[in-house]
Amino acid sequence: MNGHAWVGALAGFAFSALAQAAPFAMITDLKGDAWASEYGKQKKLTLLSYIESPVEVKVEPSTTLGVTYFTSGVQYSFQGPARVALGAQAPRVIDGQPALSTKLGPEKAIEGGLSRDQWRRLQQATVVMRTVKPSFAVVSPDKSVVLTTEPEFEWTAAGEAKRFRLVVYGPDNKILHEATTEQTALQPGSALKLEPGQKYRWKVEPLGVATPGRAVGTFTTENEAVREKMIANRPGAGAPLAARIFFATVLEAEGYMADARAEWKMLAREYPDVAEIKQRGM
């Protein structure tokens, strides 16, 4: 999909991403159709869309709608037919069956709800992950803090290049890892030793091209205490999709873009038929 089409896709959010108010909840489960009433008009809700202000929602018959609140990490599930008032603190069923609540994240998942900075990060992540870079460039990790000790390095294609050279430098600017690959991504795994709380630089060079070039990225590893706390919140094997969606979103909100991208890519491989997830994993 080209850049213009992605811009159109962003209109699928429940409310405009340009709004100043940070959302208080997001759609983490949707099987069927549900509609939000806004200024007398009906807007169709989509998986991964955000709820920025109190709104009444119509859940169609045979539809399951899951809405997760950022502050608590609780998902409220509604079975249609139903009418629901989504308040800033909690939902209220107007008509229909009572909501089922499920804890997806730790208590006070995002204490106080999303800040404007966290909302900005979510907006940027949504756009950046869908934007086709115009020239050879690094994709991830770059200009961010990472939780993982085994990051995947990712970059764009470079003309006719069939192979690439990856070099990772340590805090002292010494080479820690060097490898070549035919792919546009490489995860060194245990071959690359990273230390907590350190800044690293990496570069990638296309090989076998007439005009030499390179792309450079930087990242910092999180300190061990924070890393352990965040990783402890990662849903375990067999966790519901909604819990994994919420975790990836919290990672984005907290600024761990490379880690969030890894989660979305994993989800996209496991749920190839869910369009919204597939798009986030691209």
Give the tens place of pLDDT for each residue, 90-117.
999 999 999 999 999 776 678 778 888 8
What confidence score (pLDDT) does residue 7 get?
Answer: 36
What confidence score (pLDDT) does residue 185 get?
Answer: 96
Which is nearest to 50 in space by CA: 14, 86, 84? Answer: 14
Give the tens place of pLDDT for each residue, 28-55.
999 999 999 977 889 999 999 999 999 9
Region class of 103: left (phi > 0), else alpha (psi between -120 and 50), else beta:
beta
Which residues are CB-neighbours of 255 under 8 A, at least 6 positions away?
Answer: 121, 144, 145
What confidence score (pLDDT) does residue 118 get?
Answer: 87
What confidence score (pLDDT) does residue 133 get?
Answer: 57
Beta strands in 156-229 (DSSP E): 163-169, 175-181, 185-186, 199-207, 215-221
Which residues are CB-neighbours of 49 under 8 A, at least 6 positions away?
Answer: 12, 13, 14, 26, 27
Which residues are CB-neighbours of 238 under 8 A, at least 6 positions away?
Answer: none
What confidence score (pLDDT) does residue 167 get?
Answer: 98
229 sits in which H/E element: helix 224-232
Polymer length in residues for the chain:
282
What confidence score (pLDDT) does residue 3 get?
Answer: 41
What confidence score (pLDDT) does residue 214 get?
Answer: 92
Rounded distance between C-alpha atoms, residue 173 and residue 201, angstroms: 8
Mean residue pLDDT of the chain comes to: 88
Rounded distance between C-alpha atoms, residue 83 and residue 184, angstroms: 47
Residues lower than pLDDT 50 in the chain: 1-19, 130
Task: Enter the pTM of the model.
Answer: 0.84
